[in-house]
Structure 1
Amino acid sequence: MRSVKFSRALVALCLMLYLSGCGGDTLTPTTLPTVAAPTATVISSPSVGIAPTTPVISSVGVAPTTTVAPVPTATPAPTTPPTATPSPTIMPTVTPTYSFGQELATLRGHSGGLWMVALSPDGKTLASASADKTIKLWDLQTRQELKTLKGHTGGVRSVAFSPDGKILASGSIDKTIKLWNVATGEELRTLTGHTDEVAAVVFSPDGKRLASGSKDTSLRLWEVESGKVINILNGHSNWVESVVWSPNGKLLASGSLDFTVRLWDATSGKNSSILRGNTNWVLPVAFSPDSSLVASGSKDGTVRIWNVASEELLLTLREHKEEVRSVVFSPDGKHLATGSEDETIRLWETASGKLLATLAPKSSGASLVFTLDGKQLFSGLGNGLIKLWYIG
């Protein structure tokens, strides 16, 4: 009986196995207990009629492996090698080379001879006074005419800039003095009082007063702001040809056709001294920059240099052949320039009186003025031209 039961059980088991392999009802196999192992255990499908199952990786002791897709690498754009910025080319500063006595420029515009040229305090503008009754202002950077000042009814004998360069004074054969606005060219005021032509005008160093000299033999002091006469200085016995103010503001010097140079106290108007020695008319006069010397030019062709304090005649320069129309000290006082009717300009050493050079402008040197650096010289000529010379 026991064997019969065993046989039946065996048959039943075989039948179940057969049915499972033939695609019948799927029997869920009994799951066996999992034993932990240090490495993943892969369970394969049984080779006997059982459908393969997905391998199972044990989570015990092994971290899951993550597959990372590769990141696509961008193809680099072709690069252009950086272009080096060239260093700027530094050109050496080229200083023009001039020879001593070289004529640098000629300014043309006047229709009559020149009486005087004057330089503005900043050295940028030149004023010229002419027998054609006009005054011209020149831009020295461009060497072009800026404007023409008209108003005098006679030839203009003299011009002078105020110390601040804003006002120009002019003296004329028409017996008047005019004050002009330099920037606009406007006539500001006319000063009257002289009874004959006005040969010279000059501002005081502080710009508050103006001195004038006239053919009427007098000097007059004027208040610039009001235009009123402050003082009348009498003493010369013939007309006054030139007047200059000492740079220190203390003295006035005047040259006259009475053969004398007179020094005046600029405050009181008193005639402090008379410098004698000229044998003919005294035409131009000039103070040295330190106010210690005064130079005069004469109709007899001589130039004299005086010590102001001692009134001593220091030097007499005798090279010009005709009357001396202009004398001017260089800015450092070491040189003196003179212009003459003999159509020459001469340069002298002040201390020794040595003649250094002679320029030949082919016209009388009516008026001279140094540039501020003393390296160039303007000459206003009797033929109406202005010439610039290099003497550095």
Structure 2
Amino acid sequence: MTLNTTMCRYRYDALDQLTGLDRAGQENLQRFYCRDHLVSELQGGSSQSVLQNGAQLLALQSRELDAVNCQLLTTDPQRSVLQVTEAAGSVQQTYSPYGNRRVEGGSGSLLGFTGEVLDPVTGHYLLGNGHRAFNPLLMRFNSPDSLSPFGRGGLNPYTYCLGDPVNFSDPTGQFGDILRLAQSGLSLWNTGLGMSRVIPSFNLSKDALILGAMKKLSPKQSFAALSTVVASGAILTTSVIGVGSAVAVITEDTEVAAILGYIVLGLTVLAFVSRGGTYWAAKDPGTERALRDFVKNKGQIFPPTPPAASRRASLSPEPSAPPRNQFAPRGKRTYAERFRPEIDRPILKAKRRIATVNSNEEIRQT
């Protein structure tokens, strides 16, 4: 029993991009890219060119010597080619969730699932311009991810898009488009902490910082106010930039949308860290109370008011006769006791003067 085998040699450039395929008995095939997308493929006297606006696929133009054929492409939001329309008719392409293609009404297009090129020999998608081979039948990569298991590739080095190919894609073969997932998770966590009663309000923290909380309050209380203001500002800025990113996507400015997406992710991480610090600092029940008192007193710090019992004890005068000790008899004061600074000493002097005046008046009356 003999097996039919096909030998194919894959050629790469210095940037690890697949630039050519050499198959026995056929002309050598060459590929050219613009950034991360295929723009042209040459094989002998024939060629195919991909017309696109940014990441949006528009059409395919095929040349065979002097004959030119144009095909319009209908795609979904993930760039998967669903229909190819030309002068002779249209061809339908359907896919399984992981990209296994079925063609109806003619030959398949050069581009397939998520706008990637289907390898003519293996039937796999060589993602990342030839970096990793993805098998749509097995629903996994043929080689492990270099960013796994502790990096962005995740714990499973062979999985595709974290097991969710419907909502995400992996054009590079290394890191699926899970920025939206991470951003949504962090935003949800920030929102949950913002609704917590433990977190001080933004206005309270802002007023405390304006009144000089960083210099007058304790480090923990100052950190709670500062992290609350930073987190709130980051969330507000994220919302504004998110609107700008949505506008960039609508206007199909993919470069600006990508840059704004990374800025939004960075601000979300900053808000995440700030919210965590605020939660840690504000777990002390006295933190928010101290901020409220500080703002209420217009930045002035007053010592805590003692309880009523302690105030009465502090205001009550001491007996005039000192306690009896082993060195002096009762009624005798030592030198240190006489000249010891006391709060009630002027009060005692005043009482003695009043008592003397009263006694003299009684003598005069008598």
Pairwise same-fold verdict (TM > 0.5): no
TM-score (norm 1): 0.23
State which structure, 1 or 2, has the greater radius of gyration over its C-alpha atoms. Answer: 1
* Greater relative contact order (CA < 8 Å, ≥ 6 in sequence): 1
Q: Name whichever structure is richer in helix by fraction.
A: 2
